[in-house]
Amino acid sequence: MVTFPVLRPRRLRKSKLVRDLVSETSISQNDLVLPVFIKENINEPEQIASMPGIYRYPPNDKLINYLQDSYENGIRSVILFGIPSYKDDIASSAYDKNGIIQRAVRIIKDSFKDKIIVITDECTDEYMANGHCGLVKYTNGCYVVDNDESLKIHAKIALSQAEAGADVIAPSSMMDGVVRAIRDALDSAGYIDTLILSYSVKYASVMYGPFRDAAYSKPAFGDRRGYQMDPRNAFEAIKEARLDIEEGADILMVKPAHTYLDVIRLVKDHFPEYPLAAYHVSGEYSMIKAAAINGWIDEKTAVLEITTAIKRAGADLIITYYANDIARWIKDGVPF
């Protein structure tokens, strides 16, 4: 076996050009998906206090200008989250043909045609008065989310998003059978080419806190541990991903990302033939941003290191609030 002094691993690290030549993992703009919050009844972007640098956008030229700047950075995919003007107990604003997401999709498609892939988050939490990811009923002295009744609503929302022009539907409720319900609804209506990117492996994580501020989607009672996955479980992710594949998912997702690298690798190893997305969520973003603001960490280097780790773990697509920054840094040359 060849060893020191003949073998000197440092030879492959002696300059940036050499390191770039032999690097095992690289990130491109095509790997990045930009999350965008869109809010009704505003005319100007609103800063999100818990997510410095991130805004809620109105469905008007301000949104289009932002996406045009993103497109020029190299961003080709966005995922949309809606903040409606009203909420109720059946999430009716989520499937309204003139709802916030439906209007936003039409505006984006009118402006960009097929130059940008539009992914729509499909859930009820932003549209429900109670903030839950399904229909709630009162049973045996407590409130519970009714899984099977909720499937009808989720299918209805997904179909309305596809009718508006969404390229990809991304169900995030973690309801059992939701992918099958959506696939059946889409296919029956003729949307056989509309993709499903399923939040297959979505953990009940504390890391969603800033998102719930951004989208006003904190549950009014209880929590989501009855349907989102237990952070103590890894192998359960295989079951969840397999079920979504069998139900018709085209792309899988693990969420959160950099705190669940082991799960990303586990899912990718078991289903290598399926594209895998990882969502670098709001809390993960805000932790880095807060440390950078306080001068405790070099933001650019930290973001690139963490994003590379997510890609190295097995993610093909990375949903990240840093998408525009990363895209610009790639254009300037990754500083590793």
pLDDT in tens, 179-198: 999 999 999 999 999 999 99
What percent of the chain has pLDDT above 70? Answer: 99
Residue 336: predicted pLDDT: 64
Q: Which amino acid is at 133?
A: C
Which residues fall within 8 angstroms of residue 204, CB to CB, at 6 or more apart?
Answer: 223, 224, 225, 228, 229, 230, 231
Q: How many residues does the chain have?
A: 336
In this prediction, residue 35 has a pLDDT band, given cuts at 50, 70 and 90, of very high
Please say if the pLDDT value at position 313 is more than 90.
Answer: yes
Amino acid identity, residue 96? Answer: D
Give domain 26-332's CATH number out of 3.20.20.70, 3.30.70.380, 3.40.630.10, 3.30.200.20: 3.20.20.70
Over the Cα atoms of the chain, what is R_g? 20
Please say whether the beta carbons of 267 and 255 come within 8 A: no
> Helix axis angle, 61-73 relative to 323-332, nearest 10°?
30
The tens digit of pLDDT for each residue in 53-76 reads: 999 999 999 999 999 999 999 999
Q: Is 50 annotated as a binding residue?
A: no
Candidates 230, 240, 248, 247; CA nearest to 270 is 240
Structure confidence at residue 138 (pLDDT): 83
Please say whether the beta carbons of 83 and 91 come within 8 A.
Answer: no
pLDDT at 182: 98
pLDDT reported for residue 334: 67
Residue type, 220: A
Active site residues: 202, 255
pLDDT for the residue numbered 318: 98
126 annotated to bind ligand: no
pLDDT tens digits, 104-126: 999 999 999 999 999 999 999 99
Q: Is 217 annotated as a binding residue?
A: no
Q: Is the pLDDT of residue 148 over 80?
A: yes
Residue 139's pLDDT band, with cuts at 50, 70 and 90, is confident
Model pLDDT for residues 263-295, shown as the tens digit of each residue: 999 999 999 999 999 999 999 999 999 999 999
Ligand-binding annotation for 273, yes or no, is no
